[in-house]
Chain A
Amino acid sequence: MDIEKYRKMFLSEAGEHLEKMAEQLVAVEADPQNSDGIDALFREAHSIKGMAATMGYDATARVSHRLEDELQNCREQGEVDSEMIDRLLTGVDLLESLLEDISEGRAERSVDDFINGVMLVEELEPIPEEDSCDLAGEGVLVRLRLADSVAAPGPRLLVLLTRMAEFGTVLEAKPSEEQLLQGEISRILLVRLATEASQEEIRQRLQCYRELNAIEFPVAVLEKDQQRKVSRKSGTTVRVDTDLLDRFINLTGELLTNRYQLQSAAGERNWREMNEGLSQLARLVKNLHHQVLQVRMMPLESITGRLPRAVRDLCRSSGKEVEFSVEGASIELDRAILEELADPLTHMIRNAIDHGIEQTGSVQIKSWRERDQVLIQVADDGRGIDPEKVRKRAIERNLISPAQAQVMRDYDVLQLICQPGFSTAEQVTETSGRGVGMDVVKTSVEKLGGVLLIDSTPGEGTRISLKLPLSVAIIRVLMIECAGCLLGIPITRVLQTVEISPKEVQTSGKQLVISLHGELLPLLSLRKILRQPKGPASNLLSLVVTEVFGRKVGLVIDRLVGQQEVFVQPLPSPFDRLRGNSGGAILGDGRILFLIDLQSMLEKRRTKGS
């Protein structure tokens, strides 16, 4: 069996089972005699055990087996006491770490303590990767893992090491030949080879060694973070509904027919037929686009599933009582967005419990769809945020001037919480307030093309709303023109577009402002930001109202062109390093539309200026 091929599948499935276990555990804790819950837990543990054993992941199999046994006891007793809940949670955590080991290609960590009933109080530190120091360097790295049933691992590794030398020169081996001869026992052999042979060749020629559990080619990347990111990205698999696949096949078939229709129409120069074919094509492509997006969609549930557990842990450590609920968990979003959203969401929940809720209260996540956007709201009924305190702090931190503070509306003041360096938490608590604040959350949301807004009433609670696009790849943009360039701004970032007469422009200090809906709006010139010469005087100014660093501004542009859905692609290196540019899209007529990100554009200017 080619274990490697099944590994990803195993990881994704086992991960899902674990998530369900964590969810069920919280439900069972609330209702210890919930026999359906206990049964479900038992089944999940059982599934993991079966898969892990098949794959030869012994530690994982042992832990899940133990959980299964313990759940069987609970089943017979008809309830799960709180001590057992802790024990089961520890087991689930351990399994999670084991999956991580497997996913990163490490040997599974020791599980003896757990099996022997020792409670693991602290979160398990990941064991140092046995070969981390060896990863960087020249040559091909090959890691061979022996099956546990191999009788004489030492001689077996020596044979394999000798065999590896046939592919080229062994630059380094762990354990080395000497270490093996001295009796060092290992079931893993890591070899760095200088070889002409491809990974596939090596794999194929080693395939005949049934003693091998896995043949792996660890990737050497210098930056650990990067490595983690890459492995996480490449490790993601999607399970697709067969119905959806059928629809793809049907669409492909229709596209083929359409192609012949167009071909024959072109041959006959039959314009009527041609037009019909083209409108047919437009319909098919739109349909296909829609279906492809479906594949990328996942329910919000996939990231909120873990939250009840986090809330439970937080309540335990803070001694607060919090009722947590999620509404609209079935709303679907692009998986890329969900992945980025998981941490910010957890952070917001932590904030709510840590700073919002006083002793008892409720925290609620609500989600719903509004046209092509998804709204997610995190609300608590805690002490709320006092805008006066925020004003004071913002002035202290030089985020706004006392004069600005006076004219700013409470609502706008609240948004200042998301400014870097702002924190109202008087003392640093264990959970939140460790330097990572709302600014990080807001930045993540904005990176996804979303918007974050805070609303709060002192004494009644706080509500944070996220507005997110459904998909990151295909988004609706506002196209604008500036100094002869066509540029795009994600529509989610646009609050409003207006055209005003130059006469409406006033000055406030050095700043040009206009009054819009009774609010003073500072004006920024895109030409100036892009260091383009001033445009010709015009009797109409086009403005895009957007938000920068939590404040509304009016961006002066040459002309509003229109809206369009575009497929955004990241720019290739080195253009991806241009700040202020968040990607490009090819328009129907072949022109390239660059997407601008005003905030990062201004950040660059800010740092340059200082």
Chain B
Amino acid sequence: MAKQVMIVDDALFMRSMLRDIFEAAGWQVVAEAENGQQAVELFAQHQPDLVTMDIVMPEMSGLDAMQKILSDYPEAKVVMCSALGQESMVMEAIKAGAKDFIVKPFQDEQVIDVVDRVCAA
């Protein structure tokens, strides 16, 4: 069965790019969220194998959303998406329970490498 992923990003461009990457690699994108609040709700609904989480978003930040998700579902696997220069936020997220991270701009293989190993762990 294909692995299920939820993509969280406020930019449609980023979401569709990620969707293409995931689908090309045989993943099923079960949900897309454009802010933290939506992410929390959609996670409860789909409980995907993995979440890619943008950090800077309106409504609720990626960091807060992840913490909310983890408090309800401690086994959730969240991979942070960050731009260069957000190292400290990424580290905070990792400390709070994010499994890994990808740095924008990213290449297809890098994304799949990271999510594959997070799911394998």
Contacts and interface: CB of A to CB of B under 8 A. Distances in A.
B116 A155 contact: no
A155 B113 contact: no
Interface in B84-111: 84, 87-88, 90-92, 94-95, 99-101, 103
A259 interface: no
Nearest to A207: B117
B35 interface: no
Interface in A345-387: none
Given A152-B87, A155-B87, A208 B100 contact: no
A162 interface: yes
A159 B101 contact: yes
Given A151-B103, A152-B103, A159-B101, A180 B116 contact: no
Given A159-B94, A162-B94, A181-B91, A152 B82 contact: yes
Contacts of A509: none
A128 interface: no
Interface in A169-183: 177, 180-181, 183
A260 interface: no
Interface in B66-94: 82, 84, 87-88, 90-92, 94
Interface residues of A, number: 16
B100 A183 contact: no
Interface residues of B, number: 18
B105 to A, nearest CB: 10
Interface in A142-176: 151-152, 154-155, 158-159, 162-163, 166
A180 to B, nearest CB: 6
Contact of B95 (A152, A177, A210): A177
A155 B117 contact: no
A159 B94 CA distance: 7
B120 interface: yes
Contacts of A411: none
A155 B95 contact: no
Contact of B94 (A155, A183, A209, A210): A155
B120 A155 contact: no
A183 B103 contact: no
Nearest to A183: B88
26 contacts: A151-B84, A152-B82, A152-B90, A152-B101, A154-B87, A154-B88, A154-B90, A154-B91, A155-B82, A155-B90, A155-B101, A158-B91, A158-B94, A159-B100, A159-B101, A162-B94, A163-B121, A166-B121, A180-B91, A181-B88, A181-B92, A181-B95, A183-B87, A208-B116, A208-B120, A210-B113
Given A152-B87, A155-B87, A163-B121, 11 more contacts: A151-B103, A152-B84, A152-B103, A154-B88, A154-B90, A155-B82, A155-B90, A158-B91, A159-B99, A181-B88, A181-B92
